[in-house]
Chain A
Amino acid sequence: MYQQLIDWFVNVLRAPLAGLRGADPVLGLALVVLAALVLASALHRRLRLPRLLGYLLVGAIASPALLGLLQRTDIDPWKPLIDLAVAALVFELGTRLRPRWLVDNPWLAACSALEAAAAGGAVWLALVALGAPSPSAAAAAALAAATSPVITMATFLEARPRGQVAERLLMLSAINSALAILAVKLWPVLAHTKGLSGPDPLALLANASIVIFGSLLLGLACGVLIDRLGRLHDEPATMPVLQLALVILAALLAIAWGLSPFIALLVAGMTARSRMRHRLMVQPYLGSAGAALTVMLFVSFGVLSTLQDWRALWPWVLAIVLARLIGKGIAIFATARPSGLSWRQATALTLALQPMSSLSVLLVADSFGWRTQLPGAEPAVIQALLIATTLMQLSGPLWTLWPLRRIVDETGDDDDNPVER
């Protein structure tokens, strides 16, 4: 009875949407984004849930994993726009980072390296213990070490937290994502030594070096250009346009040259901030156009959801999620006190670092297919990782916001103004 009802509901929805897709893809997209905005607003008003959650849920409901209203290939044409939304958030993240903090607080630097290594190590151990092939487990571990910088940054922009945990969350998610990208680039070297297919390791190492240094140089150049052009074009109203144009340029060049857009844009943000200081005015999402693209980005994240084969793969999925939580927790608690964090803040930071990232693939792939990035990797391991990513991405805004709001009270929601009571 229930199944019949669901099937009827799906068919009712599918028919008009399929028609709309056929008629005009932009219209279909606009409708999905509209639905996302309505749901996000309702969730935010009634349950005080982050808006991002609404966007993700609409995408997930429409995805092949649930109603199947949209296919993964349907969003391939949106990829340039989604890349731009990611690029804007990553650039903004870069402008928030102060690398000098890692020098002033070496324990924080140690924490950032340790938490990525511990999370990756724990995931690798858990997967190998459950029978996964070691090189494939290493690939999954490398990707699982990253915290989604996009979810982190977007939640940050929505909730505007102020405090130690929020600051460290931004820094650690940037570092662990950069390390994950590096690991993805170096993974074929490991695969080659284990007898899996792939080109010469030396060539791969050289390529990885080119990617890192090339991305750094591109980011530096972009940051310097924002500063120089900003001096020539000292008009506050159009500064976001200038920034957006240069961010698009840097992202496209990085993709065209096979570099890492994430590293390039992060460095561009840091360079622009360092050179321009307070002259650099960065609007959230680089302005209203960026904000609209961000809605589309999170809807797409939802559409990319997959739960395929979850019945067979759930032990590996659970192992990835738990091992990651434990690995990050151990590293953060081990360095908490010397780095200036209370136990409560360490708990909040551990939880806030849990959202997983498909970003390392998003910006370097031609399509949304992960497997093209990791040739030779065991498909079952990668599918388990994708399911874990789906779960930790959909619940990501809650993982980030709840500790900031409830454990360390950094969002200012607990009003202490008696006048307003």
Chain B
Amino acid sequence: MTTTRSNASTMALEAFTSSQPLTLGVELELQLLDTHDFDLTPRSEDLLRELVGHSGAWDVKPEITRSMIEIGTSIQRAFAPLRDELRDLRAQMSRAARKLNIAISGGGTHAYQHWSEQRIFPTERFRYISELYGYLAKQFTVFGQHVHVGVANGDEALWLLHALSRYVPHFIALAASSPYVQGVDTGFHSARLNSVFAFPLSGRAPFVLTWDAFGQFFDKMTSTGVVQSMKDFYWDIRPKPEYGTIELRVCDTPLQVDKAAALACYLQSLCRHLREERPFEPAEDDYLVYTFNRFQACRFGLDGEIVDPKTKQRSKLRDDIIRTLARIEPHALDLQALDACNLVRESLTEGNDATWLRQQRREHPPMAALVETAAARWMT
């Protein structure tokens, strides 16, 4: 069986749907755990069936392996309603999970699951990915938070996407919650992104600033047969033309829904600051330091050092976030996102979820106890 689909089935890039700028949507990939040993358990079909009649406007769907589940909020504009929807979602999911004797957890990786034991969810797309990527598909049992931000058109989407590139390390470091992989401490704060890097179409989007130019790039790629749709790109930030959004994909799933909401609204406030003040114009050279900064955030979290692509100055990520929070504060005020920014500010002193997990590991030596504690943090 061939692992690439025929060119006859490739599609042209669809038109960019306009959406209300700065609206938000949050997707969270979550871990399904066995309550006995707290290893991953392939129960997504059971949980999906149990949640069919849920009362929220949110959405729940399968992910690539059966031990994962993805939830998505409705379109939101402010922190409080987004947080409330996520809390409602958490409550309903937790109730269903308890009924099925499973636990749910956030976190970017499961601390000791073995990728070879994971099982692909039976849909055409997931089977295609499994055929194409082989064991990488099962190693992709990692859990991220994706944030969609509404933009008016494709040109604005691409401008904002590239302008945000220098802030990508902020989100990696703030959301980092994946220090453990296959039973060992990797030394990274976000080891999850190392699994994403293995995919050939991961990394950053090409530096084009208009939707027409992006369409030309897309046509060239589809003509090679390497990609068929936008879903085949695993970029850190990618445009989502059917939703009219850009999608930030670098965050690990936080251990608590409040933090997920706070990160989304930090991004929203930052996007408003960039749109309205246009403090700089994105340039191809911004990407000279992109992978270095990204590595620093993954490896050292908030203590990482990043290089400013314009001034070439080095600074601590934590300090850069503090300065950014001060700059975007008026926008956060207008967007009713001050509480979100305060939560982000608190996490700068308390440390990210990776730090919390390492503290828990010191207090609760067995790995299973660590995962159980993380699940309790998400479910309550």
Name the segment of B33-41, B218-226, B254-262 touching the other chain.
B33-41
Residue of A nearest to B98 (CB): A104
Q: Determine how close the nearest CB of chain A comes to the CB of B140; give it in whole angstroms.
A: 13
- A342 contacts across to B, CB distance below 8 A: 46, 49
Question: Given the complex of chains A and B, what is the CA–CA distance between A235 and B109 in angstroms?
Answer: 30
Query: With A163-B43, A164-B46 known to touch, is A418 a contact of B131 (CB < 8 Å)?
Result: yes
Instruction: Say yes or no: A340 contacts B366, CB within 8 Å.
Output: no
Chain B residues numbered 97-156 whose CB sits less than 8 Å from any CB in chain A: 98-101, 116-117, 119-120, 127, 130-131, 134-135, 138
Instruction: Say yes or no: B134 contacts A101, CB within 8 Å.
Output: no
Cβ of B339 within 8 Å of any chain A Cβ, yes or no, is: no
Pick from B34, B35, B36, B98: contact of A105, CB below 8 A.
Answer: B98
Question: Given the complex of chains A and B, what is the CA–CA distance between A77 and B220 in angstroms?
Answer: 80
Cβ of B208 within 8 Å of any chain A Cβ, yes or no, is: no
Number of B residues with CB within 8 Å of any CB on chain A: 30
Contact with B along A147-183 (1 / 0, CB 8 A): 0000000000000001110010000000000000000
Question: Given the complex of chains A and B, what is the CA–CA distance between A105 and B46 in angstroms?
Answer: 14
Instruction: Say yes or no: A279 contacts B98, CB within 8 Å.
Output: no
Instruction: Say yes or no: B36 contacts A163, CB within 8 Å.
Output: no
Q: Determine how close the nearest CB of chain B comes to the CB of A359; give it in whole angstroms.
A: 22
Instruction: Say yes or no: B135 contacts A340, CB within 8 Å.
Output: no
Contact with B along A325-342 (1 / 0, CB 8 A): 000000000000001101
Instruction: Say yes or no: B120 contacts A416, CB within 8 Å.
Output: yes
Q: Determine how close the nearest CB of chain A comes to the CB of B3; give it in whole angstroms.
A: 8
Pick from A98, A279, A416, A419: contact of B119, CB below 8 A.
Answer: A416
Query: With A278-B372, A340-B46, A418-B131 known to touch, is A164 a contact of B34 (CB < 8 Å)?
Result: no
Instruction: Say yes or no: A162 contacts B42, CB within 8 Å.
Output: yes
Cβ of A277 within 8 Å of any chain B Cβ, yes or no, is: yes
Chain A residues numbered 375-419 whose CB sits less than 8 Å from any CB in chain B: 412, 416-419
Cβ of B335 within 8 Å of any chain A Cβ, yes or no, is: no
Cβ of A72 within 8 Å of any chain B Cβ, yes or no, is: no
User: Which residues on A are within 8 Å of B, measured CB to CB?
Assistant: 96, 98, 101, 104-105, 162-164, 167, 277-279, 339-340, 342, 412, 416-419
25 A-B pairs (CB sep. < 8 Å): A101-B101, A104-B101, A105-B98, A105-B99, A105-B101, A162-B41, A162-B43, A163-B42, A163-B43, A164-B46, A164-B100, A167-B101, A277-B369, A277-B372, A278-B366, A278-B369, A339-B99, A340-B46, A340-B96, A342-B49, A412-B42, A416-B130, A417-B116, A417-B130, A419-B134
User: Which residues on B are within 8 Å of A, measured CB to CB?
Assistant: 34-36, 38, 41-43, 46, 49-50, 96, 98-101, 116-117, 119-120, 127, 130-131, 134-135, 138, 364, 366, 368-369, 372
